[in-house]
Amino acid sequence: MTDVITNIETAAILTLKGVHGTSRTAAQEIVQHQIFQKTGKGRVGTGVYFWRENIYAKELASCWYEYRVRKGYFKPNEGAVIYADIAVNKNDFLDLEKPLYKDALGIFAMQQPSLEHLDDDAGDMGALYNVFIERLEKNFNLKCRVFQIRIPSPPKCQTYPTSLLGNPLAYVVRDETCIHLDKIEEIRK
């Protein structure tokens, strides 16, 4: 929003809609305590991951839950999908899909001595994103509470048309106070 008198951009709150897949037990704890547990390094850095709400989001969240079942983190047939509003000052939101940030990330990654040895399963890629964002925060005196990025859909998730749309958009929430629960649905097969 721009102030019509001074023509200065004023801070505005973005309200993003996200969908998160988890177990029913974890969903109940989130409701009870109003706290999400951030991932360690995650796929693209530390935070709580949400698929951008759209016609594919519920299926992506369900596929994430099923992937975690196969990995042994969750019990089968106990999945839940959490719908949330993510409220963040637009100055605290990074769109890492913008070419400027993509190019900066590429340059940063190429400067890392062991780029070819990064192991995504070990969280190396997430650690790289963490350092990149921390450097952006320091160099540009900003605070990244939420960022947007495209990440691969969960393995064996056949419904999302990656070849047509590219990887789905996700929000990574680094500050859990930005998350406001909307509703929870059980995953039914």
The first and second tokens of residue 97, run together, are 């899909």
Mean pLDDT of the chain: 89
Residues 85-113 have a mean pLDDT of 93
Strand ranges across the sheet with 48-52: 93-95, 146-150, 169-173, 48-52, 13-23, 79-89, 179-186
Structure confidence at residue 123 as a pLDDT band (50, 70, 90): low
Indicate the pLDDT class of residue 118, thresholds 50, 70 and 90. low
Q: Which domains does the chain have, with CATH numbers?
A: 13-186 (3.90.228)
Integer Cα distance of 162 and 164 in angstroms: 5
pTM of the prediction? 0.89
> What pLDDT shows up at residue 59?
96
- What mean pLDDT do residues 133-153 have? 95
pLDDT-based confidence at 184, cuts 50/70/90?
very high
Which residue, chain included where needed, has tokens 């000052």? 89
d(CA 64, CA 22): 8
Confidence of residue 101 (pLDDT cuts 50, 70, 90): very high
d(CA 144, CA 134): 8
Q: Would you list the DSSP string of the chain?
A: -B-TTT-PBPP-EEEEEEEEEEEHHHHHHHHHH--PPPPSSTTTSSSEEEEESSTTHHHHHHHHHHHHHHTTSS-TT-EEEEEEEEEEEGGGEEETTSHHHHHHHHHHHHTSTTGGG--GGGTHHHHHHHHHHHHHHHHHT---SEEEEE-PPPTT--SS-HHHH-SPEEEEESSGGGEEEEEEEE---
| Residue among 183, 186, 176, 187 at smallest CA distance from 35 | 176
Res 121: pLDDT = 58
99-110 helix and 124-140 helix, angle to the nearest 10 degrees: 120
